[in-house]
Structure 1
Amino acid sequence: MIYTITFNPALDYIVRVKDFKIGSVNRTSYEEIYPGGKGINVSIVLNNLGVNNRALGYVAGFTGREIERRVSEFGCETDFIKLNEGMSRINVKLKSGEESEINGMGPDINNEALNALYEKLDKLKDEDILVLAGSIPNTLPKDIYENIMERLQSHKVKFIVDATGDLLLNVLKYKPFLIKPNHNELADLFKVEIKSEEEIIYYAKKLREMGAENVLISMAGDGAIFVTSRGEVLKTRVPKGILKNSVGAGDSMVAGFIAGYLNNFTLEDGFKMGVATGSASAFSDGLATKEKVEELLKEII
């Protein structure tokens, strides 16, 4: 079974304003509401690709109920922990001449709620996949990813981690099955400026030396580089298309990798499917669909 965790999910309220003016009344020309959060995005895309999974995390208040309802509407299985106080976030994404965001705080997560999550995770079995993606709210311990991975070491769970900075570096000792920084995040990890594919490969291999089994580096419109657990380096360009949406493309790449890998249990299939799925979301108004992924998969070389 595949599990995702979204510690601080949100309702993403996406609006377009033709010419936004500060201090004035502005009227939208487009608006939509989606359930948001990196783990939730992974779950939705996995479901779109026909891969069963279960979305874990925390929800609270009327916004939390709406998040759960909308995730279920996408056909996903959910097992969220419901908090008694506060409300889940609303994130406003304003698209005008420039794109701006206002992100909410989210509810407090106490020790009782944290223990409830641990109880669910303790039921994971050998070869289950657990996706840890995104930042963590300030009400949780900063080492929560480490605590989870250490707790489940004896379960032989495959961990996929999509995080940045110390949150990622500190879990490498637990040998995650896959990590997926983008090229900018890779540079930040090592506090360097990266100017070439050769340097990307060099630092990706450093992450493998530090513990990661497989390292997938996304490079936006320049494609992706994959350093496998066998030490092989795979590269590909992205398919041709018009960028419509950057939100969720990285999460879609993670979902696509999982779907491709599980199809034939080959890393190469995971890499190709990951790139096609990330591109499918980037070229769509919403998250990747199976039809769009299959169309783009033919272009991955």
Structure 2
Amino acid sequence: MIKTITLNPSLDYIVDVDSFQEGMVNRTNHEEIFAGGKGINVSIVLKNLGIDNEALGYIAGFTGDEISKRVSKFGVHCDFVKLQEGMSRINVKLRSSKESEINGQGPKITPEDILHLNQKLDSLNDGDILVLAGSIPTSLPSDTYENIMSRLQGKGIKFIVDATKDLLLNVLKYKPFLIKPNHHELGEIFNTKLTSKEEIISHGKKLQKMGAENVLISMAGDGAILITSTGEIYFSEVPKGTLKNSVGAGDSMVAGFIAGFIKTNDFKEAFKMGVATGSASAFSEGLATKDKVYQLLEQLNDI
């Protein structure tokens, strides 16, 4: 079983305005709504690749119902904790001559709600995968990821963590199976700017020494690097394609890696699938589809 956690999911409302004028009534020429959140993106892409999984987290109000409805339409099984008060957030992205975002806060989460989510996670067992992705809302303790991983220690669960700075550093003691910083996030962790592959690999290995088993580092248009628990280091350039939307590309890379590893139990093949899947989302208006992933996978034989 694979479960993903999105602690503060959203409805992402994306609007295009030809020439936005502050203080005036503006008309959109295009608008879309998506269910947003890093764990949700991982769940959707996994299902697009034929991998069953469960999406967990917290939802509230009519917006929460809509999030669950939209994720379910992709075939993902939703097992969110439904909060009694408040509403799941709406994030607005305004695209005009400049791009602006307004992100909502999200609902308040109580200690009882935390216990309810933990109980849903107790069904995980040896060989199962738990993906913890994204930030932690202010209504939750900052050590929420640590508490979850501590509670599940010793059960043989593969933890995959896609988080930044202290959120990532503080869980390394629980030896996550995979972490996925991008090269900017990796530099921020060590308060430095990384300008070469050698520097990126060196600092990725530092995270391994701190507890991570495998380190997958995305580098946007410069490709990706995988440092494995068995000592291999793989590098891949990105496949050829036109960048359309970088949102969700990193989450898609995580989903692709999981799908590839489940199917082959091979780090190199999982890495290739991760790169192809991340690129498939970057080259699409929405998240990666299976056809697009396998089309790009053909370009990655030389890793």
TM (normalized to structure 2)?
0.98
- Counterpart-to-counterpart distance in 2, 1:99 and 1:276: 27
2:126 match: secondary structure: coil
Tell me the CA shift for residue 218 of structure 1.
Answer: 0.2
User: Is residue 2:29 matched to residue 1:29?
Assistant: yes
Percent identity of paired positions between Structure 1 and Structure 2:
68
Amino acid at match of 1:87: M
- Counterpart-to-counterpart distance in 1, 2:171 and 2:211: 8
**2:206 corresponds to:** 206
- Counterpart-to-counterpart distance in 2, 1:261 and 1:96: 40
Root mean square deviation, CA, Å: 0.7
Tell me the CA shift for residue 96 of structure 1.
Answer: 1.5
Q: Structure 2: where are the runs of 5+ without partners?
A: none
Tell me the CA shift for residue 197 of structure 1.
Answer: 0.7
Tell me the CA shift for residue 93 of structure 1.
Answer: 1.0
- Counterpart-to-counterpart distance in 2, 1:11 and 1:196: 37
User: Is residue 2:142 matched to residue 1:142?
Assistant: yes
TM (normalized to structure 1)?
0.99
User: Is residue 2:297 matched to residue 1:297?
Assistant: yes
| Runs of 4+ with >6 A deviation | none
- Counterpart-to-counterpart distance in 1, 2:278 and 2:80: 26
Amino acid at match of 1:59: I
- Counterpart-to-counterpart distance in 1, 2:124 and 2:75: 22
1:247 match: secondary structure: coil
- Counterpart-to-counterpart distance in 2, 1:46 and 1:94: 28
- Counterpart-to-counterpart distance in 2, 1:46 and 1:284: 16
User: Is residue 2:260 matched to residue 1:260?
Assistant: yes
Range moving further from structure 2, 95-104 or 8-17: 95-104
Tell me the CA shift for residue 98 of structure 1.
Answer: 2.0
**1:222 corresponds to:** 222
**1:284 corresponds to:** 284
Instruction: Kindly report which structure 2 residues correspond to 1:27-106, keeping only aligned pairs within 5 A, or say none.
Output: 27-106=27-106
Q: What are the superposed Cα offsets for residues 9-52 of structure 1, whole Å, 9 maximum, x if unpaired? A: 00000111112121122111110101000000000000000000
User: Is residue 2:123 matched to residue 1:123?
Assistant: yes
- Counterpart-to-counterpart distance in 1, 2:198 and 2:154: 37
- Counterpart-to-counterpart distance in 1, 2:130 and 2:243: 30
2:12 match: secondary structure: strand
User: Is residue 2:156 matched to residue 1:156?
Assistant: yes
- Counterpart-to-counterpart distance in 2, 1:97 and 1:260: 39
**1:167 corresponds to:** 167
Q: What are the superposed Cα offsets for residues 191-226 of structure 1, whole Å, 9 maximum, x if unpaired? A: 011111110010001111110000000000000011
Amino acid at match of 1:206: K
- Counterpart-to-counterpart distance in 2, 1:54 and 1:196: 38
User: Is residue 2:193 matched to residue 1:189?
Assistant: no
Q: Structure 1: where are the runs of 5+ without partners?
A: none
Amino acid at match of 1:76: V
2:154 match: secondary structure: helix
**2:7 corresponds to:** 7
2:271 match: secondary structure: helix
Tell me the CA shift for residue 68 of structure 1.
Answer: 0.5
- Counterpart-to-counterpart distance in 1, 2:254 and 2:82: 26
**2:271 corresponds to:** 271
Q: What are the superposed Cα offsets for residues 219-271 of structure 1, whole Å, 9 maximum, x if unpaired? A: 00000011011121100100011111011000000000000111111111110
Amino acid at match of 1:96: S
Q: Between Structure 1 and Structure 2, how many residues are aligned? A: 301
Amino acid at match of 2:23: G
